[in-house]
Structure 1
Amino acid sequence: MKKLPNHASPYSADSFAQAQKGEFREAPYDDIYMAFSPAGDLHSNVLELVKWGKVIIDGGMLDGKQVLNKENVQMTLTPQSIVRQEMKTPLFSHSYTYGLGWGLVTYKGHNCYTHMGSYPGSGANLTVFPDDDLVIALLANIQPTGFLHYAKLFIADKVLDLPVDQDWLFDKAVENAAKEYEDIAGEREGKQLPTRMEGRPSTLPREELVGEFKNPLYGIITIVSTPAVSVVDGEEEKEMGEEGLEIQYNEFRNKLEHYHFETFRTVLEDLNTREARLICFETGADGRVSGLGITFKETEMVRFVKVKTPDVATTVTEK
């Protein structure tokens, strides 16, 4: 992507106030971790996405040729599950169902297929109104933004000459973006975490917590021991502070702080992500650490099995 001369760079802001002032920082193009490639490693533009939406409307036809199996296309547009049974506004259908990669709903009486996704610093929304032969493709190189969801409704109102009963762009989109930034700030501060229980120490020795922990989807988390800081006082070197623990996960590096019992707090932090999380160490019948659990955004506890324990406690000497 970076080799292309005409591409959009991702940007992020630390707060809603900064975003309103246009104070964005350019974010690096991070490699998409392999397990997540199907969800974020496709690069395109709005013109190509509109063509793709038209192929869906035409049942898999492109320029008069059947490029996709018509029955398979129809299957992707067939409800497979109910996402929400009751919508919050009468502008949409009573229920919101999900096909295979498509959200299926009606908007002001018009059938609508839609899919939206985001990755730090970027986002996309593709919406198809099949009965109106209308495809709306939206891309943004900032995240979070309320624009992607509400701009499609603004465009649909204009193109389909639908009654306008609220300002999607300057009211709803702004309100949505402000809420997203508020939620992000709360996650960064750990407001979503359970209350800490004071005076509940860990009973596990530090060396038991060190090692590699593996999950077939999320990959490997490594817990390492960090040495006490060495300070030279004259000709004598002194150890200051205590040894600690650090989590290494993909591009994330941060210390672990004891929370309560066998649970530790950390912050998954890089240019685009700052989320406080708890890591819970688990033991087997032999009393040894057998794995750990961590709660990622919008998921249940994800468990990692301990696969490697170093003979000598792994240490970090450089940050």
Structure 2
Amino acid sequence: LAAVALFAGSYRGLDARGLAGLRHTMVRCFHNEADSYVSVQSTNGLLRFLGQVCGDDSPVERGVRVLYPNNVLSFEGMTSSKAFLQIRITEHDGGSKASWELKDAVHLADAHVCWPIVYANEPTFGLFHWMLGCQANPVREPLRAKRKRLDLNAAKSLLADLREAYSDGTLQRSIAALIAKSGRDQFLFLAHAQRLALEVQKGVLRKWGFRQTVRGVVEMNAALADHLAAADGAGRSFQAEWDGARRTLYGPMHHDCWPPSAERGDEPVPPLPRDAVREARGLGPAPLDAGQAAALQEELRA
């Protein structure tokens, strides 16, 4: 959408029906500050327009810092770099429309070099996780206006229920089989693991008044996320409890999907040896496909 709108320049003339459709659009833009091909001002103008369509005139801004590679076109350069790159994030409509502006990132190469940086820093940018989370069908009602909220004690009780549900033996066997069949490919694993998790989440969702659907999981996660910004260290403590529940679900794949974060104070964990990865990839008799994942899902339902 961003590329079409920026080059067409006609999105401001949309009729009421077209504007209503834009409310449910999810956009994430990655941009170099010094890019002269399409200016940052054009991207920011588009996002401000989309925010206004959603009734959001007060975007949230925050900053992050990532390693600046010695060679911006080489993923290997990330590991040996000692310089850092500042990034300004501007989020509209609860984060569904966001701009990630890389500061001074185009001085070493004649290319749109933000993409190697984005691809090589998935724990920071989360591009592929975000793409997996995008829904194919537009959301018909705004989440912000009606979503359920929980106080801190209720949120902690919900996490305890999730942790108990994730400890289910059948689910854990299915997760172990999924790890082997996916060859520890984190994105392939997550795409199918979330469907398996929903089967045991339904009881928790029903208990706490959420819909027993993927949409209900989104609403539940939004209610839990309210407590991550708590002051006096309470937010970090709650994050640790949430991570514990997620670690129970994903087991040995937790580190692969959510590497330690220095910002959260996580301890560094050594990478999985390559021979172990190769061994894991040899366990599956055939590449993981939708049919195999569906069989695991049916086993959970039974």
Compute the TM-score of the two structures, normalised by the length of structure 1: 0.21
Instruction: Report which of the two structures shows the higher radius of gyration computed on alpha carbons.
Output: 1
Higher strand share: 1
Higher helix share: 2
